[in-house]
Amino acid sequence: MAVLDIVTFPEPSLRLKSKHVTNFDKDLQTLIDNMFETMRAAPGVGLAAPQIGESLRLVVVEYTDDEDENAKPKKYALINPEIVKRSEETVTAVEGCLSLPGLAGVVERHEAVTVKAKNRFGKPLKIEAEGWLARIFQHEIDHLDGVLYIDRAEEVFEPTPEEAEQIKD
Ligand code: ZN
């Protein structure tokens, strides 16, 4: 496995609409493993393929709900993901992005979403997510359409080191 370079704003590739994945081959498996390793090394809770310069509809997410002491990490590789349902209720919170180091933004997101995708072997998946996991899915899936949180943020700011520690990239 390998840690890949993360592409940062304003790199134009972050603004492209990514292509659907059609081959669930060995190269895809290697790419997914490398993306997990890159995300953990950063560290971050989500990473989309355009962030490592691959224009493919693929995201990886690894998130532990730290409000629940017994929570185990939830780990997902989502291929060709689509949000098929969004709650009417929205929540506003501060988020960051590995492609926008040193910045954070106040972003309104749906409180819950349902995501349909394929897993790494091409098997269909349907996930109902709420709270931070729903926020991560919305953020990462936006990357596949060239959308960054700064496009949606009410406010973008440079967090202090203490604030930065609280922000999940
Ligand atoms: Zn991001």
Q: So what's the pLDDT on residue 163?
A: 85
Residues of the chain with pLDDT under 50: none
Q: So what's the pLDDT on residue 5?
A: 97
CA-based max dimension of the chain: 43
Tokens read off for 69: 């002491």
Domain that holds residue 42: 12-166
The CATH number of whichever domain residue 90 belongs to comes to: 3.90.45.10
**Ligand 1 centroid to residue 104 C-alpha, Å:** 11
Q: Which residue has the tokens 């704003």?
A: 9
Residue 17 near residue 143 (C-beta atoms within 8 A): no
Those residues whose beta carbon sits under 5 angstroms from the ion ligand 1 are: 97
**Ligand 1 centroid to residue 88 C-alpha, Å:** 23
Q: So what's the pLDDT on residue 54?
A: 97
Number of domains in the chain: 1
Report yes or no on 7 lying in a domain. no
Kindly report the backbone phi and psi dihedral angles of residue 124, in degrees, each rounded to the nearest multiple of 5, phi listed first.
-65, 145
Q: So what's the pLDDT on residue 168?
A: 73
Q: So what's the pLDDT on residue 55?
A: 97
Q: So what's the pLDDT on residue 71?
A: 85
Report yes or no on 56 lying in a domain. yes
Report yes or no on 47 lying in a domain. yes
Report yes or no on 1 lying in a domain. no
Give the pTM. Answer: 0.95
Residue 48 near residue 147 (C-beta atoms within 8 A): no
Report yes or no on 70 lying in a domain. yes
